[in-house]
Structure 1
Amino acid sequence: MDLSQLVTPLTRQTLSGDVYKQLSELLMNGRVMPGEQLSLRTIAEGLGVSVMPVREAVHRLLSEKALVLLPNRVLKVPTMTVSQFAEITSIRIHLESLAVGQAALRVGKPALAEIRSAHERFTREILAKKPNESSLIALNKELHFTIYRQAQMPMLLEMIESLWLRIGPILNHDFRSNSPRVTEHVSVAHHERIVAALERGDAQGAGEALAGDLQGAADFIVSAGVLLADDPAATPAVPVRGAKKRFPAGTPGRPATERRDIAV
């Protein structure tokens, strides 16, 4: 992947923070794939900065488990096992349902109009003859966070963002695989129920609609077999469905990787 086409050159003084922000957006918007290897030098060139602020931002993302550093010093977007994905989905449903429920109680008319507009932009894209997959992921994230900000709970928002750093690349398997959620516009129906509940001030209905949206995406991703199988000796923290066998390297269905060796 040519990251220079996905990022904006930086000119401000707070370079490390700006690099972190742009890399976070790439992850949350699903612009990189699970298992993809990244290069410090390529990132630095794309942003127009030295390697040092990139290194600092990357170490922050490593501490948040949004990236992983392999024993051979290769930087990689993490893959995820079935039980890890089930656990993070369960946490997301609890936190994001809380956010959307609080938003239903606090949202004002101007924000409702903004949310409705974000929903309509997502809907137009998904109804297009050939939806742009990158746009779908970005518009989906825009709609969700436009809603969550209306909860007016900054610490909750930070927790949700930290989970999206880890889940963003996995959403590629939902929106980039011609799934029924795209072809049959299932996600649009979920979003419409969320927005309608917000407009009614129905906190419970909004939370239930949001949970249905997240669980529907999670069920498809698990059933698609793109996640890694768990260690048979390990006990999953939460029940999971659709676990697939672990694939040998190079087997169709295994998350693809592209080698780009770097020293961090």
Structure 2
Amino acid sequence: MHPASDEPESLFDVPKISRSTLNEEVYEQLKHALMSGKIAPGSTMTIRSLASSFGISVMPVREALRRLVAEHVLIILPNRSVALPVFTRERFNEITRIRTSLEGLAAEAGSINLTPEMIERMAHMTQLMESQTPGKHADILAWNREFHFTLYRASNMNMLVKMIETLWLQAGPLLHLQQRVFAEKETPVYVHHHRALRAIGTRKPKQVRDAIVDDIEDAAKIISAAL
């Protein structure tokens, strides 16, 4: 886990944002950075430095941060900057237990509604993850997220998907810990993804649920051991 450090001049590499839908775009960019583990737990951010990174005014950034604080993803510090809370093993394990329940439900329900195009996309995401050069953690995490949320969104339960997304935002900064372990393997194989795809192909929703739950729990064991 990376120690907290002084805030860099540019927190992460982001494209400059147009001024048409600033609030939503800043919010989505910050979510992506969090889920990709680009911001380490304990890191602090100021509105001004984030606005500078995006190349925009402070107002949209303030609104995006307000939403993330309301979702319990970020916390406000006494100096009015915001930070990612430092994770304890207990907090992470609690989030993992909730994730397995919610994501298992979404996986089982979503597997029934997947179109051939969605299934093909999930298979392609897994193929990209396994063929990617080790060390490209951000890309792998982005593809992993697309694999999971393609399945979850197919449940057609928008409230459930939103709850899952909030949990991913909280756990996202730690997911790079798992990818470091995977990167040490000569040929990473995402076994549970393949299990889920086979179960989807044979129309066995309960087995899809089990594969996704095992995927979450196996990753959590690696992360929890590093906390």
> Same fold by TM (over 0.5)?
yes
- Give the conservation status (yes or no) of the 8 Å contact 2:200–2:208: yes
Could you tell me which of 107, 120, 125 is aligned with 1:113? 120
Could you tell me which of 147, 150, 154 is aligned with 1:146? 150
For structure 1, the 5+ residue unaligned runs are 227-264
State how far apart, in whole Å, the 2-side matches of 1:194 and 1:9 are: 37
Which residue of structure 2 lines up, in the alignment, with residue 29 of structure 1? 36
Give the counterpart letter for 1:221 in structure 2. Answer: I
Which residue of structure 1 lines up, in the alignment, with residue 216 of structure 2? 214
- Give the conservation status (yes or no) of the 8 Å contact 2:106–2:160: yes
Which residue of structure 2 lines up, in the alignment, with residue 62 of structure 1? 69
Which residue of structure 1 lines up, in the alignment, with residue 193 of structure 2? 191
Higher relative contact order (CA 8 A, sep 6+): 1
RMSD: 1.9
Cα deviations by residue, 1:184-233 (Å, 9 ceiling, x for unpaired): 76661111111211222211111111111101111111112x2xxxxxxx
Which residue of structure 1 lines up, in the alignment, with residue 173 of structure 2? 169
The structure with more helix, counted as a fraction of residues: 2
State how far apart, in whole Å, the 2-side matches of 1:202 and 1:92 are: 21
Q: What is the SS of the residue equivalent to 2:223?
A: helix
TM-score between the two structures when normalised by the length of structure 1: 0.77
- Give the conservation status (yes or no) of the 8 Å contact 1:122–1:140: yes
State how far apart, in whole Å, the 1-side matches of 2:24 and 2:152 are: 23
Cα deviations by residue, 1:24-79 (Å, 9 ceiling, x for unpaired): 11112222111111232221122221011111111111111111112233321122
Which shows bigger deviation, 165-174 or 10-19?
Answer: 10-19
Give the counterpart letter for 1:122 in structure 2. Answer: M
Q: What is the SS of the residue equivalent to 1:183?
A: coil
Which residue of structure 1 lines up, in the alignment, with residue 205 of structure 2? 203
Q: What is the SS of the residue equivalent to 2:56?
A: coil
State how far apart, in whole Å, the 1-side matches of 2:77 and 2:147 are: 34
Give the counterpart letter for 2:138 in structure 1. Answer: S
**Cα gap change, 1:103/1:158 in structure 2, threshold over 3 Å: closer, same or farther?**
same
Give the counterpart letter for 2:26 in structure 1. Answer: V
State how far apart, in whole Å, the 1-side matches of 2:104 and 2:183 are: 20
Larger radius of gyration between Structure 1 and Structure 2: 1
Could you tell me which of 70, 80, 84 is aligned with 2:91? 84
Moved over 6 A (4+): none
Give the counterpart letter for 2:170 in structure 1. Answer: R
Whether 1:19 and 2:26 are equivalent positions in the alignment is: yes
